[in-house]
Structure 1
Amino acid sequence: MHYDVFNGDADGIIALLQLRLAEPKSSTLITGVKRDIQLLDRVPAQAGDSVTALDISMEKNLPALEALLAKQVSVFYADHHKSGVIPQSDQLQAHIDLDANTCTALIIDQLLAGKYHTWAITAAYGDNLIAKADQLADTAGLNEEQKSQLKELGTLINYNGYGEVIDDLHFDPAVLFNELLAYDDPFAVIADHDSPYSLLKNAYQQDIQQALATEAKYQSAVVGVFELPNQASSRRISGVFGNWLANQSPDSAHAVLTENSNGTYTVSLRAPLNNKQGAGDICGQFVSGGGRAAAAGINALPKEELTKLIEVIEQYYA
């Protein structure tokens, strides 16, 4: 048995997409909403089985990873989040790059020698690596219209990954992956009126308009904090809205709060685009928090800890 385990956002989906376009393989797909990252816990692999793990923090999955390796399960692991101490095992192929200007799909792009390069560029746009994606697109000879199309598609695939549960999403990420697997080129997705592109585009426009009407809950020269109401559209748009805010004010940090049904906040934190560091360290100070240097989050921040969060952000980036 083979298991493909991947984050449900643009980076995770497109990283796997490149691999399976290059090497088709019958597999069991294990994924979830973007914040559902401890996915190796769900893998029932036994000795002789194999696993591909993409865009999920090795540090967060370390006990499950070590258990798989101990059972002689072969694991291919590619990621750009905090890894912790990488296990030493003949069963593990680890491709970890913590550079703030890379993503898992770009790691796979290098391993495949750019075979599906436009897909990798799409993932970089979706992961809000705009400057990096623009650079790669320019080197590939893409014009401004093509760059805009890939940026939109990457944003839409990423937008689909945000939610508290799968029912919040327009597509289960496993379903979206399978639908996109029919296209070896992202421009073909955009050209096909029956592809997921049109549905996601229309849904995104509705959700982002609601978010753009939101006034800042807290604003300073260092950070802007925006609170979205407890509804599915807020959970879907929170991360992409955070990316949009970061691009509008690249010298400031931004935190998007979405109220959860239990009264806590889900937090999406973006480091300043001109200072891509610290987001993961800040969120890691809170229970259920973590992430990478440029973008991180907290799954359930008690409302009484919001003042502390703002103070930590202010102190870090002041």
Structure 2
Amino acid sequence: MNFDVFNGDADGIISLLQLRFHEPKETQLVTGIKRDISLVKQIPLDLLNDKSEITVLDVSMEKNIDALNKVLETKASVLYADHHRAGIIPTSNNLSAHIDLSADTCTGLIVDTILNKQYHNWAITAAYGDNLISTADNLANQAGINSEEAQQLRELGTLINYNGYGAHTDDLAYHPAELFKSLLKYPCPFDCIADTSSAFYKLKEAFDSDFSLAEQANVVFESDQLMACIMPDEAWSRRISGTYGNHLANQFPNRAHLVFTIIDNEHYLVSLRAPLNNKKAAGELCAKYPTGGGREGAAGINCLPKAEINTLIQQVCLFYTPKGE
């Protein structure tokens, strides 16, 4: 049996779209909300053998290493593409690893390279969805995409990414596996946008409603280096938190942003965005906490005790304060 394992955000979904446009294949889909990254362990090992083909996209190898090693022991072939913290990559004849930790790439662009840009417009959409706006703008310009079309791809990528945020899949407009299946009808993203019955329009309506509420978030800290705000324990805030963090990062590229979403009386969900003009160490800062992790430019903590909120704010603010100030 074959399995496709992918992050439920824009980068994960669009990475798999490219691969399945190129090579349609019957597989079992393993995915979930954006923060559900320990996905490889969900593959049933008893169904694997040396003829099985496993694809893993946009989830940290470091976070999945034990499960990955068990999969490799079954002799299944594994294609692993990602841009998050990898740790030590296993040496195995049945593992094809495509790992790039650059702050200016994403898994969709890694897959784009593997496929020689066969579905390049989708890869650009993935970059927009992962908030690599400058990278995506440059690629769009090089591909001859005009500014209006580029804005359409940016909105589509943002909406697909927005759909991945939530405490559980019931928070989302679409289960990520269902969203992936619905997008398989469109080898070109512009076809999705042109189809008024596509997921693009349902997601846009939900996003616009959630975003208007996010703009009322309670700001608890603001300086030249960092802005931090808190959102309530509501489904809309869980859906919009990461995308709103991206929006703030784009509006104020010289400062970092922390978005805290209340989980309960004692804990927060955390989204951290490094300054766009200094995209580094977001994953490192969040990985100091047991449920934290991410990449250079964007990261999060799944469950931060409220007592530690000020410590995290101070750590982030200090890290991004220029030396000598």
Superposed CA offset, 1:37-68 (max 9, x none) = 00001001422222100000000000000011
| TM superposition outliers: structure 1 runs of 4+ over 4 Å | none
Q: Distance in 2 between matches of 1:201 and 1:93?
A: 37
Whether 1:47 aligns to 2:53 is no
Partner of 1:284: 287
Residue of structure 2 aligned with 1:302, choices 296, 300, 305: 305
Q: Distance in 2 between matches of 1:50 and 1:308?
A: 44
* Pairs aligned (count): 318
Partner of 1:250: 253
Q: Secondary structure at the match of 2:264?
A: coil
Whether 1:138 aligns to 2:153 is no
Residue of structure 2 aligned with 1:100, choices 90, 100, 103: 103
Q: Which moved more, 1:214-223 or 1:231-240?
A: 214-223
Q: TM-score, normalised by structure 2?
A: 0.97
Q: Distance in 1 between matches of 2:16 and 2:207?
A: 24
Task: Give the partner amino acid of 1:119.
Answer: W
Whether 1:218 aligns to 2:221 is yes
Partner of 1:24: 24
Partner of 2:296: 293
Q: Which moved more, 1:257-266 or 1:29-38?
A: 257-266
Q: Secondary structure at the match of 1:149?
A: helix
Q: Distance in 2 between matches of 1:19 and 1:239?
A: 26
Residue of structure 2 aligned with 1:236, choices 239, 242, 250: 239
Partner of 1:87: 90
Unaligned runs of 5+ in 1: none
In the TM superposition, residue 261 of structure 1 has moved relative to its aligned partner by 3.3
Task: Give the partner amino acid of 1:180.
Answer: L
**Alpha carbon RMSD of aligned pairs, Å?**
0.7
Superposed CA offset, 1:246-302 (max 9, x none) = 001000000000001363100000000000001011101112011101000000000
Residue of structure 1 aligned with 2:118, choices 115, 118, 121: 115
Partner of 2:154: 151
Superposed CA offset, 1:145-183 (max 9, x none) = 101100000000000000010000000000000000010
Q: Distance in 2 between matches of 1:284 and 1:157?
A: 26
Q: Distance in 2 between matches of 1:175 and 1:229?
A: 28
Partner of 2:5: 5
Q: Secondary structure at the match of 1:293?
A: coil
Q: Secondary structure at the match of 1:234?
A: helix
Task: Give the partner amino acid of 1:280.
Answer: G
Q: Distance in 2 between matches of 1:109 and 1:164?
A: 30
Partner of 2:185: 182
Q: Distance in 2 between matches of 1:291 and 1:6?
A: 15
- Once the two structures are superposed, the pairs formed by residues 27-38 of structure 1 within 5 Å of their partners are 27-38=27-38
Q: Secondary structure at the match of 1:60?
A: helix
In the TM superposition, residue 215 of structure 1 has moved relative to its aligned partner by 3.7
The 3 A distance-change label for structure 1 pair 18 and 31 is same
Partner of 1:60: 63
Superposed CA offset, 1:46-100 (max 9, x none) = 2222210000000000000001111212110000000000000001000000000
Superposed CA offset, 1:108-132 (max 9, x none) = 0011111000000000000000000
Q: Distance in 2 between matches of 1:75 and 1:55?
A: 14
Q: Secondary structure at the match of 1:113?
A: coil
Task: Give the partner amino acid of 2:313.
Answer: I
Q: Distance in 2 between matches of 1:272 and 1:309?
A: 16
Q: Secondary structure at the match of 1:230?
A: coil
Q: Distance in 2 between matches of 1:285 and 1:84?
A: 15
Q: Which moved more, 1:214-223 or 1:96-105?
A: 214-223
Q: Which moved more, 1:162-171 or 1:44-53?
A: 44-53
Q: Secondary structure at the match of 1:286?
A: coil
- Given that residues 218 and 231 in structure 2 are in contact (C-alpha distance below 8 angstroms), is that contact kept between their aligned partners in structure 1? no
Q: TM-score, normalised by structure 1?
A: 0.99
In the TM superposition, residue 311 of structure 1 has moved relative to its aligned partner by 1.1
Task: Give the partner amino acid of 1:76.
Answer: L
Q: Distance in 2 between matches of 1:310 and 1:256?
A: 11
Task: Give the partner amino acid of 1:165.
Answer: H
